[in-house]
């Protein structure tokens, strides 16, 4: 998905690929606790890890030793506060977000849309619910 959106390089740690090392600023956007060790190791000594992905609200095991021993600054970034204006401008200016939209449903199929979005087996990314009119995104 990242490549479709324009990323030059991608790494899939679920396939055993290694993240680059000594990166000054790292964004963790998956929210998967299993990714924490890899992103901490990828962050440079004294670097910053920005946690964008929502971690589960339950206790999850994680090895956080690198956070202290490598003096990493770990900050959270809630991604839905004031960004809507920037997002609307980007869409108006032609940003193509179609690669991240995996499913589209009309309003009268809202229940099915929510079921697909909640089902990990559906391989959904972003599920769009059309509120009316033609879809221009």
pTM exceeding the 0.85 threshold for the entire prediction: no
- Digit-coded pLDDT (tens) for 108-136: 999 999 999 999 899 888 999 988 765 55
Domains assigned to the chain: 13-76 (3.40.50.720), 95-130 (no CATH)
Is the Cβ–Cβ distance between 52 and 27 less than 8 Å? yes
Under DSSP, is residue 86 helix (H, G, I), strand (E, B) or coil?
Answer: helix
Under DSSP, is residue 47 helix (H, G, I), strand (E, B) or coil?
Answer: strand
- Digit-coded pLDDT (tens) for 77-96: 876 667 788 888 998 999 99
pLDDT of residue 134: 59
The answer on pLDDT for 32 being more than 60 is yes
Is the Cβ–Cβ distance between 68 and 93 less than 8 Å? no
Under DSSP, is residue 103 helix (H, G, I), strand (E, B) or coil?
Answer: strand
- Can you read off the two tokens belonging to residue 59? 């206790």
């Amino acid at each position: 998905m990242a490549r479709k959106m324009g990323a030059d390089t991608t790494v899939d740690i679920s396939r055993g690929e290694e993240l680059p090392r000594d990166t000054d600023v790292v964004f963790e956007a998956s929210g998967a606790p299993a990714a924490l060790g890899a992103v901490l190791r990828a962050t440079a000594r004294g670097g910053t890890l920005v946690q964008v992905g929502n971690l589960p609200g339950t206790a999850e095991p994680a090895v956080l030793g690198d956070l202290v021993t490598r003096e990493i600054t770990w900050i959270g970034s809630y991604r839905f506060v004031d960004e809507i204006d920037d997002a609307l401008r980007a869409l108006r200016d032609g940003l193509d977000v179609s690669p991240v939209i995996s499913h589209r449903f009309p309003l009268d199929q809202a229940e099915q849309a929510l079921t697909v979005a909640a089902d990990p087996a559906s391989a959904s990314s972003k599920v769009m619910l059309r509120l009316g009119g033609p879809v221009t995104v």
